Amino acid sequence: MKRVNAVAWNTFREAVRDRILYNLVFFALLMMASAIFLGQISLGIETVVLVSLGLSAVSVIGLLIAVFTGVGLVSKEIDKRTLYALLSKPVRRWEFLVGKFAGLVLTLTVNTAAMAAGLILSLLFVKHTLERGDAVVLVAVYFILLKISIVIALALLFSCFTSQLLSILFTAGLYVAGLFVTEMRNLSGSRLAPAMQTLFSWISYVLPNFENFNIMAAAAHGKAVPAALILQNTAYAVLYCGIVLASATVVFSRRNLK
Amino acid sequence: MPQPAIETESLTKDYPTGFLHMKTKRSVENLTMQVGEGEAFGFLGPNGAGKSTTLKLLMGIIFPTSGSAKILGRPISDVAMHAEIGYLPEQPYFYDYLTAAELLDYFARLFGFSAAERKERVARMLKKVGLETAGKIQLRKYSKGMLQRVGLAQAILHDPKVVILDEPMSGLDPIGRREVRDIILELKREGKTIFFSTHILTDAEMLCDKVGVIVGGKLQGVGKPDEIVGMKSQGMEILFEADAGDARSAAVCAKASKSGSRFALRVPDDSLYPALEELRAAGAKIESVSQIKPTLEEYFLHLVAKDRAQAAAIEVSEK
C-alpha cells in the first residue's frame, strides 16, 4: 500500500505542477459572473439556472481533465521512459496502475471540491441563505466525481495499450455511449432486427451507465435523493472501476515496454 | 561452487516487426552466462548488439521469448527481488518537474524507508554523486552528465547487492566519465556485483574482472579481459633511436616504422636476439623491448567484422 500511495502522491504532485488546477480560476470567474448577473434579476429561476450552470461546469471541466490527463497516465511514462527506473524498484505493475489512478482521482477530488465550494458560495450570494434542500447539490457533485472516476479508469485502460489520440477517441466514445444505455435497452419498438436488439441490449450492460449519475434536475429544484441511489451509484462506480483496473492490469502486465 | 549473482539460460528475445507485426527480429539469441557475486562484469558490444535488451530482460521491463534468468538465485519475474538490485537505464530520463532530492525521496518511499531514513539517504547519495548543491534544482534544468549522476544515485539509493548499469559512461565528457568510473570502483570495493554494458573498451579494461562480448545478439566470448583476447604473444616490438642517414643504420631503419624521433621494429619471438644484435651493430640506441599482445579493441573489432561478414553472406545466399 505504501508503494501505491507513493505513486499516487507523485501523480497528484505532477498534476499540480503541470498547473492543471488553474482551471479553477476559470470556474471561479464563471460563478462570480453568473452570481452577479442572476443577483440582479428576480424571475424566481435564479437558483435553478445557477445550480444547472454550476453543475454542468463542474462536470465538463472534470471530464475534460479526466480524459486528457487520464490518457497520458501510462503512455506518457512509457514514451518518456520514466517508467524504466520506477519498475526497477520493487513496484508491481498493478501497484503502479492503481497508484496512477488514485493520484488522478485525488487531483480531481480536490478540484471538484473547490468547484463545489465556489458553487455553494455563489448560491449563498444569490439566495442570501442556504436551506437543507441545497445539500442535494453536494450529492450531485459527488455523483459527478463518481462518474469522473469511471472515466479516469477507462482512460487509464486505453492508455495501457494504445496511443494518446486513440485513447481520447475510445474514452470519449464510451462516455457518450454510456449516456444512452437506457435507450439501448429499450429498442423493442424500433425497426431493428431482433438479433441486433439483443446485441445492443447485451452491450448496454457492459457499457458504463452514466445516466444514473445525472441528478442535475433534482439538485436544481432541491428535490431529495434517496439514500439507496447514493449507495447504488457508489457500489456501481467502485465495482466498475475495479473491473476496468483489473483489465488494465492484465493488459499492462504482459506489455513489453519500448 | 557459490551461487552466481546473475545467470541466464538460453535467454532469447524476438521483436515483432513489419506493418502487421507478422515478422520477427531476433535481438538476443540463446544467451547463457553467469556473473559471480562481487564481480565487475562488462557487457561489451557495438550499438544494436542486444546489450540494452538483455539488461531490460533482467529488469522485467520486457519479457523473454524463451529461456530464463535468475538474479541472486531468484527468477527475474520476482519483483520483490528488485529490493536487492539497482538499475541505471540507458540515457536516463526522470520526472523533470521534480528536483533531484524529491526524485530520490520518491524512490526511497517505494522501498518503504521511514522519513528520517529517507532524508539521510537522499543527502548521502546526493553528496556521493556530487550533486549536494544542485539537489534543490528541478531536473529539467540538469545537463546530461548531471542526469547520469542522478541516475546512479537512484540506482544505489537502497544499497543493493547487484548494480546493473546500462551504458553508464555514454555521452559524458572526460571529467564526467572519470567521476562515474570512480563511483563504480567504489561500488566494486564495497563488494557489490556490478553488471554494466558499454561499448567503450578502455572503461571495460579498467573496471572489469570479467567481460562478455555480444555481437548480433549472440554471446561471442566470456572471460577476463586479457584471457578473452588470448595470451599468445604476437611477436616483439623494439623501440630504438638511430640516424637513418647513417650508412650503417639505414638498412635496419628501413625495416622499422618511424614514430617521432624513434623507430619501432616488430619481429617474431625467435628473431629477437638476432634483431637486437643487428641494431647494436648498426649503432642504434635501444629504448625498450616489449611483447605484442592483441588488445580488447582488436578482439572486439575482429568479432564485429566476422559478424558483419556472416550477415552479408546470409544476405547474398538469401538473394
Give pLDDT tens digits for A133-172: 788 889 999 999 999 999 999 999 999 988 889 999 999 9
Cross-chain CB nearest to A257 (options B62, B109, B154): B62
Residues B121 and B242 in one domain: no
Residues B205 and B244 in one domain: no
Alpha helices in A21-134 (DSSP H): 23-40, 46-70, 75-79, 82-87, 93-127
CATH assignment at residue B130: 3.40.50.300
Closest CA to A63 of A147, A159, A162, A176: A147
- Residue B231: which pLDDT band, with cuts at 50, 70 and 90? low
Mutation target for B interface from A88, A93, A94: give the one with most B CBs within 10 A: A88
Amino acid at B194: I
**What Cα–Cα distance (Å) separates residue B216 from each residue in A170, A175, B26, B210, B267?**
40, 48, 9, 20, 36
Judged by CB atoms closer than 8 Å, whether chains meet at A91 and B82 is answered as: yes
* Number of domains observed in the structure of chain B: 2
In a domain, A223, yes or no: yes
* Number of domains observed in the structure of chain A: 1
Judged by CB atoms closer than 8 Å, whether chains meet at B92 and A85 is answered as: yes
Taking each helix axis from N to C end, the angle separating B100-110 and B144-156, rounded to the nearest 10 degrees, works out to 20
Report pLDDT digits (tens) over A65-90.
Answer: 999 999 988 888 898 889 999 999 99
Judged by CB atoms closer than 8 Å, whether chains meet at B92 and A91 is answered as: no
Residues 102-141 of B with CB under 8 A from A: 106-107, 109-112
Alpha helices in A179-256 (DSSP H): 181-185, 194-206, 216-220, 227-253
Contact status of B65 with chain A (Cβ, < 8 Å): no
pTM: 0.83
Name the burial class of residue A135, with classes exposed (0-12), middle (13-18) and buried (19+) by CB atoms within 10 angstroms of its CB. middle
Name the burial class of residue B123, with classes exposed (0-12), middle (13-18) and buried (19+) by CB atoms within 10 angstroms of its CB. middle
Using CA atoms, how far apart are residues B271 and B50, in angstroms rounded to an integer? 44
In a domain, A63, yes or no: yes
In a domain, A48, yes or no: yes
Closest CA to B304 of B210, B206, B221, B224: B221
In a domain, B205, yes or no: yes
Q: What is the mean pLDDT of chain B?
A: 85
pLDDT at residue B67, rounded to an integer: 92
Expressed as residue numbers, the domain containing B171 is: 6-225
Residues B90 and B137 in one domain: yes
Q: Half-sphere exposure (CA, 13 Å, Cβ side) for A20?
A: 28
Contact status of B266 with chain A (Cβ, < 8 Å): no
In a domain, A258, yes or no: no
Mutation target for A interface from B27, B57, B76, B79: give the one with most A CBs within 10 A: B79
* ipTM of this complex prediction, to 2 decimal places: 0.83
Report pLDDT digits (tens) over A94-139.
Answer: 999 999 999 999 999 999 998 899 888 888 887 788 787 788 889 9
pLDDT at residue B295, rounded to an integer: 67
In B, minimum Cα distance to A96 occurs at B110
Residues B145 and B205 in one domain: yes
Name the burial class of residue B257, with classes exposed (0-12), middle (13-18) and buried (19+) by CB atoms within 10 angstroms of its CB. exposed
Residues B284 and B176 in one domain: no
Cross-chain CB nearest to A10 (options B87, B106, B112): B106
Q: Which residues of B touch A5 (CB under 8 A)?
A: 109
Judged by CB atoms closer than 8 Å, whether chains meet at A2 and B109 is answered as: yes
